[in-house]
Structure 1
Amino acid sequence: MPASPRTDRWMAQWLTGMPAETHLSIIAMILGGVFDKVPETLRICFAHGGGSFAFWLGRLDNAWHRRPDVIATSQQPPSAYVSRFSVDSVVFRPEALRVLVDTLGATQVMVGSDYPYPLGERPVGEVVDRSSFLTPDQRAAIRTNNARRFLGIR
């Protein structure tokens, strides 16, 4: 985000700027029609849990269906594209991870660290381990299996 008095203090560029830019990147790829043009085999992973994308997906779908300036900017509503990308698990709270898993599916979330940046999760994967709502299979998928599939490692 551009420097401004609002973002120059309290690490606001890190606390809001980076997740906001991630959210905007996902929106640009969906509403800009990128996912309609690239092969489904292209693997993309967004950091910062995808920003606020999962939380605002209903708002995006609503705009796609009701706003003339958003309608048909992509072939399908935004929710139809959630299987086309992954996000990392660096959201720091089980409640936030639950929103990701409930919205995108456990297959689209993989453990992240934000290393080497100072706000990364330490120890890596802690939020996944603390998320009691996850089944053992979901935990294994997020901790290891999704990254293996993403990277083409068997």
Structure 2
Amino acid sequence: MTTSPAVPTVDVHAHVLLPEVEALVADLPGHAEARALDARRNGPAALAVSGPMVRERIPRLTDVTVRLAAMDAQGVDVQLVSPSPSHYHYWTDEDTAGKLYRLANEATAAHCAAAPDRLRGLGLVPLQHPDLAVEALDHALTQGLLGVELSSHAPGRELSDPAYEPLWARAEETGALLFLHPFGCTLDERLDQWYLSNTVGQPTENAVALSHLIFSGVLDRHPALKVIAAHGGGYLPTHIGRSDHAWSARSDAGAGCAHLPSSYLKRLYFDSLVHDPHVLRELIRVAGADRVLLGSDFPFDMGTEDPVGALRAARLPEADFHAVRGGNAAALLSKE
């Protein structure tokens, strides 16, 4: 684990907006229904705030010069850039999904290529069409991207679905990064006020998705898989004791994975975006200082404008601080 103060500061949770992706799907059957579902899940008050918020941030999401200036202001040397999760469009048919992942991968790669020393990228895979997942990952890698971003589930499929085994195998074989970033929560209208769709929905989806990977044995079958969970892994790391108890006490809970659930946290990576220094310290305690990476959710309002300051507020030992600030990610992004 690199702990030197000289290592670069690396933010692994930063997004790019791809207008060409939205243009591709804008007039397709199913798009209106998907937008209506999103509106139902978020509620009108949230949409009224989110629209202007995103519009104000479009320069930082699309213009590399503006992005780099913002990074300089934050003290961030390198960003791992992933498409906005709004680009998943898991409702699209197979033909459109193939066009979409290629367009997203190429556009993200082009954005990062404008500043290759400071920007590294991730592509997309169409989880709703598992047969396309491996070719989408391979396409991302051929574009010079380091892996792909994926949501917590696709319609009718959890990440434990056997149909994704080829994707996990290929990601493990290539050393590709998998950035687990939910978009949308199936609790639907129960979360349509006070932005609960995000504040409760995102950490819930993170916890459910990671539990599927753990309890189904995916991480047993693919021990070298490089999964980075956004939002500090949601509720799971701070409530992992309940999972351990179920695994020990119940035959159904313990049937799918070989080891205590908490042990798998040390095989995963987590970003630091938990908005509470005490929670961050607990995440580091259960996962290890070598498994937590700086994350800001750049440039959205549910992120942090000062990721290094948020990390410093946790009052970590100096070596752990520098590891999370950039040492861990620098090693991961270089595939050493």
TM-score of the two chains, using structure 1 as the length reference: 0.92
SS for the counterpart of 1:44 is strand
- Structure 2: how far apart are the matches of 1:153 and 1:143? 17
CA contact (8 A) 2:277 2:314 kept: yes
Aligned to 1:123: 306
Aligned to 2:267: 84
- Structure 2: how far apart are the matches of 1:136 and 1:127? 15
SS for the counterpart of 2:200 is helix
Q: 2:220 aligns with which of 36, 43, 46?
A: 36
Query: Letter of the aligned partner of 1:103 in structure 2?
Result: V
Aligned to 2:279: 96
Runs of 4+ in structure 1 displaced over 6 angstroms? none
Unaligned runs of 5+ in 2: 1-184
Q: 1:16 aligns with which of 200, 212, 233?
A: 200
Aligned to 1:146: 328
Unaligned runs of 5+ in 1: none
Query: Letter of the aligned partner of 2:221 in structure 1?
Result: K
Per-residue CA distance 1:25-55 (angstroms, 9 max, x = gap): 11000001100111x3321100001001111
Q: Relative contact order (C-alpha < 8 Å, sep 6+): which is higher?
A: 2
Query: Letter of the aligned partner of 1:75 in structure 2?
Result: A
CA contact (8 A) 2:204 2:235 kept: yes
- Structure 1: how far apart are the matches of 2:205 and 2:260? 21
SS for the counterpart of 2:203 is helix
- Structure 2: how far apart are the matches of 1:36 and 1:29? 9
More strand by share: 2
Residue 131 of structure 1: how far off its partner (Å): 1.6
- Structure 2: how far apart are the matches of 1:10 and 1:148? 37
Compared CA separation, residues 26 and 144, structure 1 to 2 (3 A) = same
Query: Letter of the aligned partner of 2:210 in structure 1?
Result: I
Query: Letter of the aligned partner of 2:259 in structure 1?
Result: Q
Larger Rg computed on CA atoms: 2
Q: 1:69 aligns with which of 236, 252, 263?
A: 252
- Structure 2: how far apart are the matches of 1:76 and 1:41? 16
Backbone CA RMSD of aligned residues:
1.3
Residue 84 of structure 1: how far off its partner (Å): 1.1
Residue 152 of structure 1: how far off its partner (Å): 2.2
Aligned to 2:317: 135
How many residues were matched structurally?
A: 151
- Structure 2: how far apart are the matches of 1:59 and 1:83? 17
CA contact (8 A) 2:215 2:253 kept: yes
Aligned to 1:109: 292
SS for the counterpart of 1:45 is strand
Counting aligned pairs with the same residue, the percent is: 32
Q: 1:26 aligns with which of 207, 210, 214?
A: 210
TM-score of the two chains, using structure 2 as the length reference: 0.43
CA contact (8 A) 1:112 1:125 kept: no
Query: Letter of the aligned partner of 1:10 in structure 2?
Result: W
Query: Letter of the aligned partner of 1:77 in structure 2?
Result: L
Per-residue CA distance 1:8-32 (angstroms, 9 max, x = gap): 1111111010111011111000001
